[in-house]
Chain A
Amino acid sequence: KQEVTQIPAALSVPEGENLVLNCSFTDSAIYNLQWFRQDPGKGLTSLLLIQSSQREQTSGRLNASLDKSSGRSTLYIAASQPGDSATYLCAVGFNQAGTALIFGKGTTLSVSS
């Protein structure tokens, strides 16, 4: 059974700190991996999409890496801000159609000012 695990479940940091969120998956035969952000009462916002052939993607202060062989992805957030407070979800795509998209339970991040 394909499983996606995110550690830690919750994280609290002071403003300005750099941080790393972790995502691990059990099956290395993936098509892609996405990182999402979810704010309370809101839907998910796609942050970064990494194709299976890629090692990393960057957008602003965010950098996501992918290591298929070890079944891991990390989301690096530089110079964290209170506005970064949200739940971050990792989703691993195991087929081309996107129907086998398995989500982790997320890491809830709180950045204090």
Chain B
Amino acid sequence: GAGVSQSPSNKVTEKGKDVELRCDPISGHTALYWYRQRLGQGLEFLIYFQGNSAPDKSGLPSDRFSAERTGESVSTLTIQRTQQEDSAVYLCASSLLQGRNSPLHFGNGTRLTVT
């Protein structure tokens, strides 16, 4: 596809369950980002992948959050033992290059609801 694809679009889970969110970036985009958007809040940076470099995990809120990316393709964000505070829209973005000249292209997000 032409854009960033995320799945599922919506996910409802019970507190304590694990969830896995998927992101397919635009083909050829080396940089991939995960953000979280809580209701009424700005976007929060979670994690960044750039090629084969070690990911920047500085935004992950706790050790229950982890993410993987295989090469320059699909990424998965995993949340273990979900809590109600994890309810948010999780957005994935990719860009062609890192740095000031490359705009971010976002997917439509996964809306996670923890009951």
Residues on A facing B (Cβ under 8 Å): 4, 31-32, 34, 36, 41-46, 49, 51-52, 89, 91, 93, 96-106
Contacts and interface: CB of A to CB of B under 8 A. Distances in A.
Contacts of A34: 103-104
6 contacts: A31-B99, A34-B104, A43-B4, A44-B93, A97-B48, A101-B45
Contacts, number: 74
Nearest to A52: B100
A58 to B, nearest CB: 15
Interface residues on B, range: 20 to 34
Interface of B: 4, 6, 31, 33, 35, 40-43, 45, 48, 50, 56, 58-59, 91, 93, 95, 98-109
Contacts of B91: 43-44
